[in-house]
Chains A and B, each alone.
Chain A
Amino acid sequence: MARLLFFGKLGDLAGGRLHERVLPDGVATVDQLIAAITAEDEALGEALAAPSVRFIVNEKMADAGVAISDSDEIAFLPPVSGG
């Protein structure tokens, strides 16, 4: 199963930071994952598609076109606010 991580306000919208799930059929990129999530939950999907959201796949910064599979950890990061 893929590990999906949602931080900050995205975690609130997703109802939890960590979701372990099988990627939906036909989902092979982050972009496609966001589209599939939007079909399930429009508010969350739109928040994930915001230009300010960044992606980390297997602990590396990634763009929306990067290939993903059920063995990956995919993290969605809204604008940060440390310090």
Chain B
Amino acid sequence: MAIIEGEPLALPSGTPDDRPNPLGVFARPHNATGFKDWLTTVDHKKIGIMYGAAAMFFLILGGVSALLIRIQLATPNNTFLSADAYNQVFTMHGTIMVFLVVMPIGAAFANFLMPLQVGARDVAFPRINAFSFWVFLFGGLMLNTSWFLGGGADGGWFNYAPNNGIAYSPSSGIDFWNIGLLIAGIGSLTGAINLITTVLNMRAPGMSFMKMPVFVWMTLVTQFLLLFAIPVLTVAQVLLMLDRQFDSNFFNVEQGADPLLWQHLFWIFGHPEVYLMILPAFGIVSEIIPTFSRKPIFGYPFMVFSGVAIGFMGWGVWAHHMFVSGLGPLSVSAFSVATMFIAVPTGVKILNWLATMWGGKLTLNTAMLFSIGLVTQFTIGGLSGVSHAIAPSDTQQTDTYYIVAHFHYVLFGGALFGFVAGMYFWWPKAFGYKLGEKLGKWNFWGMVIGFNLTFGPMHILGLQGMPRRMQTYDDAMGLNLWNFVASVGSFILGVATLLVLVNAYLSSRKWKAAGRPDVGPDPWDGRTIEWSIQSPAPNHNFDVDPVVTSLDDFWHRKYAEDESGKIRRVATGAQLAQPGNGEGVHLPASSYWPIVLAASFPIIGYGIMFTLWLTIPGGLLLVLGLYGWSLEPADDLDLPHDHDDHADLAGVGASHD
């Protein structure tokens, strides 16, 4: 970071006073279409979509590993996976799902949606935004190359010391885990800075804090959590790297080190992490439920402040993952109580969503169903969360399948359901057509049934004493039935999850076959200003900056009270929407350098792991990236500056699907 933030200061280009740069050294790329455009784009919408696509890719990886787990556990004493393979599979499953699926989907929505919702043309630092994505992607890919280079990490997703040390895990799997996530973390950090700056500084005129959509608020909280949580993980990982690669002693018990240091560092990061996985989903359903209940969100200030409160409280509860690590009763009591009280702000949210639905006229389409799915299933996960926040009962439950059930209910039943809801909801804004409702219903019910069939029984398994991370179990333990049920469920769930992608594919085909009919700017009678522009969102977002006068601004423009005090529709969304004419709008040009710069990190990473020689080309590439970055002119000089030339750009958004 220091390099990125610091270095360019020293460089003589790109300053407002010597722009436009007369020498055009390192001209910017200017392809508006094709894959090269995707590689060089700095458009927040495309970057958001790429985050989403990458997450889907990793979801399949994580999902396949989940299914491997379930196959292995379907029957007792199964030998489908060896102990070693099993350990790698569940570690990589957890790691992929958390860091490479849920976090990037959150980033996808934040990137795609947040600038639209605050009425901005792009994020504050578009090139850094692209860099964040690429560095995340390369970190994630590097992590997954471990499968082919000596095996994946085998320490569990929280990788406790000293089991993560070179003595106990001599293969390079954990190095991949460590360095891959370190790299991905750089992306999260730069992304957080970028997005927070955008929310704080680039809101449309009139959009005060209390007029921001709930999703924007949740993005803000999430990114603050990231901003502060990532460095703590970074420190843990750096210490581990120093231990593994450079023989230091941070987790060397023989030298008197305390392995709990790792646990504290990891969970100080880890707990804020779980909230930063759920809050974007909370934000999403806070947009969907009011829209399809045809009512404003119930208790907006409470929604906002409970989100902020969760963000704050999330920092004070990490040791609930360590109730049996031997902290001593005082700490355990303190953390137990603190954890229980997180149920309060979360409960406010749940109940406010219910109250929003109460008395509404509900349109139960797929997006809404998934949202309701989140509300109910997250509650189940939250309640089991509270049951192990009670420390004594956690001594029975921790590290059993009861915990596995808890976190899949909050992560899959909560976060992922919310994200799928969001995909159905904003798909038209991104791609210009709706996802099929019929398949959507199948999608939803398949997922609900598969999900509960998979993870519901895990509550029972856990309470019957099945510890987690078990490669196998014995016949005599009485665990056969529910394990088998869970395995069956997981396949239903897998197929149902795939339907999201199938639906996207089929709907797009149908749409194209029908000659790409216009879905209209406002297909759902939406409430926030992203619905006031064409679908798919034009490259330049807003023709003119929107001026916001109230919460749910767009809705208030469509509806007004008549003389009798009755609320009537005064205009449709299509009537009010901006026509999507980008004339006179100047957009930041694409750039090669984010991806070049990002590519240097994994090379350095491999160098640290295998041979320090490799860090030299990696370092050179890094320097080259920074060099190119700093030399790049602020604008693409090849794009003529006359204002009428930008109409072609506006069409770009529509050309992908």
The answer to whether A binds B is no
